[in-house]
Amino acid sequence: MRIIGGRAGGLILKVPKGLAVRPTPDLVKQAVFNSLGDRVVDAEVLELFAGTGALSLECVSRGARLAVCVERSARHAAVLRENWRRAGFPPETLELRIQDVFAALEPLAMSGRSFDLILADPPYGPKNSTARSESAAQRLLDDPWLPHLLRRGGRFVLGHAHRDRLEIPPVWREVKTMRHGDSVMRFLESCPPEWA
């Protein structure tokens, strides 16, 4: 697992031992960032379920101005901080929140924060082919605060398992879908009612 592009390209990232983290594979990351292109430059990024911060590190390496990372595990957050230090990124380019993602969204929105990019590759839920998904990915799509955190014209990139059939609420408009093995990455735009 490494940073693929930009000024820290090639840096091997530290990953906590065990199975509690499922890093986004390099091939998937490469495809995502090829698709995002210059949107990353000078962007303010929110990474949810940040884990080791691989997606945020990739953003800052490619010119993002700030990454706000939300990660519940203090152990994983410590690894994220270490990866940031090893990449040589200025400390002010990282804002790390050690808390549950779904507890973080309302306070972020209520404080007036907004982002050019929101990235989330949460833990995969159980196989779902008939019932409505109960995965973390579906919960993000259903969350009433998340659309307000994405700036007009911004992108929400959401990863989930191919076996997890998500329902996209009307507040989101899907722009693109990419499939790599069991991974699906959806690119969405937000359209809160007050923007209509």
**How do the pLDDT tens digits run along the chain, 196 residues long?**
788 999 999 888 888 776 455 667 778 888 899 999 999 999 999 999 999 899 999 999 999 999 999 999 999 999 999 999 999 999 999 999 999 999 999 999 999 999 999 999 998 776 666 677 889 999 999 999 999 999 999 999 999 988 888 899 999 999 999 998 888 999 999 986 665 4
What was the pLDDT predicted at 22?
A: 60
5: phi then psi, degrees, rounded to nearest 5? -130, 175
- CA angle (56 as vertex; 55, 62 as ends), nearest 5: 95
What residues are paired with 43 via a beta bridge? none
Q: Where are the alpha helices (DSSP H) in 88-164?
A: 101-110, 136-142, 146-149
150: phi then psi, degrees, rounded to nearest 5? -100, 125
Residue 26 tokens read as: 């390099």
